[in-house]
Structure 1
Amino acid sequence: MIYTFLILLSIFGYTIEETKVVSPAFTNAQTCLKEENTNGPIYAQLNKEIQNGHFTMYGRAEKQGRGACGFDINTPDMSAAVSGSLFNNSAKWPESCLPDKRTVANDPVCMSKCVQVTYKGNTLTVPINNMCGGCAIDHVDFTDQAFLWLEPGGYTVGDAKGATIKYVRC
């Protein structure tokens, strides 16, 4: 029944738009970071739409390690690396109150910030957990799962252009 409905929508020129929101792996309370006492370049970009942006993917799901925020780069499996210009170069690295006591960046870009990307009518919002050194603010580097959600032709596309990018609180 739903399949028939979707075919009819397609025949009459309608498209189905999807929205997906992925929460950060950890809250500020779980990491013991306090955003009130921080500053950083991300604040100047919050809630501003960037037209004609693009996105890439930084690796397959089996890629492991911690990113520029101190979080695992594939946790959650849909997440993003963003421009180094959005990071505070003087941010401290305190010990967190996570069970493993890892150090995490006391940088606002790493504290409950997400990137929202709209592409071909679909919108994906994922947490920022890493830095993309070669990216400008109009370029987001996704985990492969996030990239493939927005661009199913992923591995053949490589660099998806024509996206709207917005940095938001999550």
Structure 2
Amino acid sequence: MRALKTLRYAAPVLVAAVTGIALGAGPAAADVPIGQSMSGKTTYYTDKGYGACGTPIDATSQDLVAVPASWWTSTNPNNDPLCKGISVEVSYQGKTIRVPVKDKCPSCDRTHIDLSKTAFQKLAPLDKGVINGITWKFVR
């Protein structure tokens, strides 16, 4: 009888653990690939308020980046590894900038990053709107 009671309480824990592993197996659960160069595009945004890392942001006056949702691994983005001192180094036509990850871009595909207005301006004029052909990587 005691074994059945233990099994009854242990079974949900086992199911949760197995489900967590199965759900975490997608690309979002991959480790942040520090130093791995990627090609893609960037746009810019001008949001103010709180970013996905839970800190105040002003994308009109601060250099920062919103990273595609597919790179976030925690259900609570405030606790995500991306919010723990990770930056993105972006290069375009001989210019390179480094900006801290402070936000999430839900509409960006895996190689599309969204820079703050001020960071984007360091690479190209705002009227360009979209910069194709950037290279970027996560850095500490």
Compute the TM-score of the two structures, normalised by the length of structure 1.
0.61
Residues 68-83 of structure 1 correspond to what in structure 2 (within 5 A)? 68-74=52-58, 77-83=62-68
Aligned residue identity for 1:118: S
The aligned residue for residue 90 of structure 1 is 75
Q: Secondary structure at the match of 2:58?
A: coil
Query: Deviation at 1:73?
Result: 2.0
Query: Deviation at 1:45?
Result: 2.1
Identity fraction in percent: 32
The aligned residue for residue 41 of structure 2 is 54
Aligned residue identity for 2:35: N
Q: Secondary structure at the match of 1:134?
A: coil
Q: Secondary structure at the match of 1:88?
A: coil
Conserved? CA contact 1:78–1:126, under 8 Å: yes
Query: Deviation at 1:42?
Result: 6.3
The aligned residue for residue 106 of structure 2 is 133
Conserved? CA contact 2:32–2:138, under 8 Å: no
Aligned residue identity for 1:166: K
Q: Secondary structure at the match of 1:57?
A: strand
Q: 1:147 aligns with which of 120, 135, 138?
A: 120
Structure with the greater alpha carbon radius of gyration: 2
* Higher strand fraction (1 or 2): 2
What are structure 2's unaligned runs of at least 5 residues?
1-27
CA offset digits 1:65-88 (Å, max 9, x no partner): 001110112277100001111112
The CA distance in 1 between the partners of 2:30 and 2:89, in whole Å, is 14
How many residues get paired? 112
What are structure 1's unaligned runs of at least 5 residues?
1-39, 93-104
The alignment yields a C-alpha RMSD, in angstroms, of 1.9
